[in-house]
Amino acid sequence: MRSKLTLQIAACIGISFLAVTAGKSENTTVAKYYDLCSEAVMHQMTSEEAEAAWNRITTVLDGAPSKVVSAVTEVNEASKYGQPIDKEGTGSIRQVHAVAGGMVTKTGKNDDYGLYVEIRHEGAVSVYGNLDTAGVVEKERIQRGEIIGSFDSSGEKEFYYELRTNL
């Protein structure tokens, strides 16, 4: 038999799963079982009650509607890439960040992108253009969120960003 702690941890994971998908789904079944998960964790239960609650939750999750599966996929894809630029701040100079880890494949200047950086990620390529400064070089490995340059938002040109996926 599973230990009570293991069941409570599993219920917490279930709550997290449902909390993420509940906001993306209009499915009343998801909301109902989110409440069930919350109830299971918040109350003092015996091991038998915890196991019974876990069995009810897993039964529902095993038959999750396709909307829930779709919402989870959407959330996972959305969180796979970070934000390319700090949009909030007090000055006009904004830091530009790599949206995901990868390797810098190109840096330079051209008529289309001005000063730009191109990064190859797993299954994607990101391009950051009209930069004020570039702080990386070709063939450099970078991590998600790493500062790769800066952009002056008070200038004439707009920040350019493109993400090509499914390559």
**Best-predicted range by mean pLDDT (18-22, 40-44, 86-90, 110-114):** 110-114
- Winning range, highest mean pLDDT, from 15-19, 54-58, 136-140: 136-140
How many C-beta atoms lie closer than 10 Å to residue 28's C-beta? 8
Single pTM value for the model: 0.54
Give the number of other Cβ atoms within 10 Å of residue 111's Cβ.
5
Model pLDDT, residue 91: 80
Please state the rounded mean pLDDT for residues 22-46. Answer: 59
Q: Describe the crossing of helices 4-22 and 47-62 by its angle, rounded to 10 degrees.
A: 40
| 27, pLDDT greater than 70 | no
Q: What are the extents of the domains in the chain?
A: 4-79, 81-165
What confidence tens digit (pLDDT) does each residue in 107-119 have? 999 999 999 999 9
* The pLDDT value given to residue 24: 47
**pLDDT of amino acid 76:** 52
Task: For residue 126, name the pLDDT band (cuts at 50, 70, 90).
Answer: very high
Q: Which CATH architecture fits 81-165?
A: Distorted Sandwich (2.70)
Phi, psi (rounded to 5 degrees) for 77: -65, -40
Residue 4: count of CB within 10 angstroms of its CB: 15
List all residues 6 or more positions away from 51 whose beta carbon is below 8 Å from its beta carbon. 1, 2, 7
Q: What is the pLDDT of residue 109?
A: 96
> Which of 57-61, 76-80, 117-121, 129-133 comes out lowest in average pLDDT?
76-80
For the chain, the three-class secondary structure string (H helix, E strand, C coil) is: CCCHHHHHHHHHHHHHHHHHHHCCCCCHHHHHHHHHHHHHHHCCCCHHHHHHHHHHHHHHHHCCCHHHHHHHHHHHHHHHCCCCECCCCCCCEEEEECCCCEEEEEEEEECCCEEEEEEEECCEEEEEECCCEECCCCCCEECCCCEEEEEECCCCCCCEEEEEECC
How do residues 35-70 score in pLDDT, each as one tens digit?
666 555 555 666 677 677 777 766 666 655 555 556
Percent of the chain past pLDDT 70, that is, above it, reads 56
Does residue 26 register a pLDDT over 70?
no
